[in-house]
């Protein structure tokens, strides 16, 4: 075979048989997280001062950093701030973006129409003005090596949120016990609610109790003061609850909402204008004809006096007790949302689970606290006299000399909390129970007789069995449902 032929064959073999080629992956490149702005300082000791019965905080600079939420993806930066955050007007956020106080990934944006993407970090640096809270101290119900059980004052949020940071339970306790101390709340109470809270001293203890509460093996009892004469006997409300505005934290009774159930039992009823000798004084009616016609259209006006009611929630929906009491026609008498006829109209949404006026209610509520006081108009205990209307927290028309932020007046006494108190928490198997005395507003008024403590006869926990369900072996004459009534029950039941 000639050399030329061998060379040709060799070329063909090389062409047909190629060496095995193993793909080489590009090395993984570490992508650092986006740049963020850091708060200029974290003042210690905290800048608290006490004035007029209030705990106040000197204004300070602060930076919020947050990752883009799923619902923000693909939206303009100004649209996010204008719709998601309530405490400042849109003009403020527009100026903050254009001046670089609001940045994305540490960089000033080119336009207020900048689109926010998944993974972006939004930073907002501002001169922070915190609202005052009560100067009342945080009561200690029990303390051991694992846990602190506190009596939370009304009007103080648990965690830093919204306009509140240092004026929160977590930060106040940290300021009292040292910068390195890390309080771990195990249960949640609304800002306006007072009562029993559990603070873990270490993660293991906090996790154990939190798991018990989430598993619904902890019984909770609240006390509320509501308008009118609440019925005697056991009142069970299992109207579902739905959140209709995440921005305002507004909830309503809705058949399409989440399952919710509460047992109510009246502790006391106090009629209006009763003197020490038990006689009702005759009061001169100085209302004009126009005012009489107006009042005749307000259904809650016919509900005289107030009741102290024990409340046992079997589920834990946001604002569940406040919504259920409103639905039953006996809202908490100083509730600035659910007992506010400027928001819900003359009926205060009693028995209303079907109306389609959510947008109107949201619009009216959003105006509260801006140009007018966020007042509950259905007060029956003389909390809404002109003095308190003048003292209510609202914009003063003045601006901060440093940042031009609109300034609020101090809150009035009626805005520091509502008549809702978490009185008792008890382990279902009986291993532990913690409770507080009745709050002052639940005690008998001067010159009148009434319970100064809860009684066995008015204990709603007696209706709950070991599994956490409602006992159905009682008769209707006792105000309880029978098994047959439970199967055919309406959404809410009143005895009689």
Residue showing tokens 């039941």 = 493
Both tokens of residue 458? Answer: 């008015």
Query: b vs e for 196-224, b when ≥16 Cβ sit within 10 Å of the residue's Cβ?
Result: bbbbbbeeebbeebbebbeeeebbbbbbb
Distance from C-alpha of 460 to C-alpha of 221, rounded to nearest angstrom? 8
Residue 231's contacts (CB-CB under 8 Å, 6 or more residues apart) are 266, 494, 495, 496
Distance from C-alpha of 393 to C-alpha of 415, rounded to nearest angstrom? 8
Asked if residues 223 and 230 have their Cβ atoms less than 8 Å apart, the reply is: no
- Which helix (H) or strand (E) segment holds residue 367: the answer is helix 358-367
Which one-letter DSSP state was computed for residue 187? S
Asked if residues 322 and 335 have their Cβ atoms less than 8 Å apart, the reply is: yes
User: What is the dihedral sign for C-alpha 451, 424, 438, 251?
Assistant: negative
Distance from C-alpha of 33 to C-alpha of 353, rounded to nearest angstrom? 47
The catalytic position among 190, 234, 238, 335 is 190
| Nearest residue to 254 (alpha-carbon basis) of 318, 331, 332, 327 | 327
- Active site annotation includes 190: yes
Distance from C-alpha of 387 to C-alpha of 389, rounded to nearest angstrom? 5
Residues forming the active site: 190
């Amino acid at each position: 075979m000639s050399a030329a032929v061998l060379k040709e064959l060799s070329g063909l073999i090389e062409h047909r048989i190629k060496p095995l080629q193993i793909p080489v992956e590009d090395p993984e490149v570490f992508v650092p997280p986006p740049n963020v702005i850091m708060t200029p300082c974290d003042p210690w000791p905290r800048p608290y001062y006490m004035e007029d019965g209030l705990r106040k905080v000197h204004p300070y600079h602060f930076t919020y950093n947050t990752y883009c939420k799923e619902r923000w993806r693909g939206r303009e930066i100004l649209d996010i701030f204008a719709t998601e955050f309530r405490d400042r007007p849109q003009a403020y956020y527009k100026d903050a973006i254009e001046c670089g106080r609001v940045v994305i990934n540490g960089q000033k944006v080119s336009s207020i129409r900048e689109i926010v993407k998944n993974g972006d970090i939004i930073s907002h640096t501002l001169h922070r003005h915190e609202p005052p809270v009560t100067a009342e101290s945080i009561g200690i119900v029990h303390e051991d090596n694992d846990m602190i059980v506190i009596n939370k004052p009304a009007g103080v949020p648990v965690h830093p949120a919204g306009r509140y940071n240092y004026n929160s339970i977590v930060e106040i306790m940290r300021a009292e016990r040292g910068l390195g101390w890390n309080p771990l709340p195990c249960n949640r109470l609304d800002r306006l609610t007072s009562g029993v809270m559990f603070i873990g001293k270490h993660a293991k203890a906090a996790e154990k109790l939190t798991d018990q509460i989430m598993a619904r093996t902890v019984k909770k009892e609240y006390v509320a003061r509501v308008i009118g004469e609440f019925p005697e006997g056991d009142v069970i409300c299992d109207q579902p609850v739905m959140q209709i505005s995440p921005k305002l934290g507004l909830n309503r009774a809705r058949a399409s909402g989440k399952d919710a159930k509460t047992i109510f039992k009246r502790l006391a009823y106090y009629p209006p204008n009763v003197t020490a000798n038990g006689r009702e004084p005759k009061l001169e009616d100085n209302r004009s004809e126009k005012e009489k016609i107006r009042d005749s259209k307000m259904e809650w006006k016919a509900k005289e006096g107030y009741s102290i009611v024990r409340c046992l929630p079997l589920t834990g929906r946001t604002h569940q007790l406040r919504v259920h009491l409103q639905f039953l026609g006996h809202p908490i008498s100083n509730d600035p949302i659910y007992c506010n006829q400027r928001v819900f109209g003359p009926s205060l949404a009693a028995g209303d689970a079907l109306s389609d006026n959510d947008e109107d209610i949201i619009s009216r509520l959003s105006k509260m606290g801006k140009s007018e006081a966020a007042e509950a108009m259905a007060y029956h205990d003389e909390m809404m006299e002109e003095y308190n209307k003048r003292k209510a927290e609202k914009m003063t028309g003045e601006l901060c000399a440093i940042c031009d932020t609109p300034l609020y007046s101090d809150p009035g006494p009626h805005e520091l909390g509502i008549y809702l108190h978490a009185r008792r928490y008890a382990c279902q198997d009986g291993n532990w129970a913690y409770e507080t005395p009745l709050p002052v507003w639940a005690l008998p008024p001067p010159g009148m007789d009434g319970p100064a403590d809860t009684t066995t006869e008015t204990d709603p926990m007696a209706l709950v069995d070991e599994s956490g369900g409602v006992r159905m072996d009682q008769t209707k004459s006792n105000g309880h449902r029978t098994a047959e009534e439970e199967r055919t029950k309406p959404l809410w039941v009143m005895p009689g």
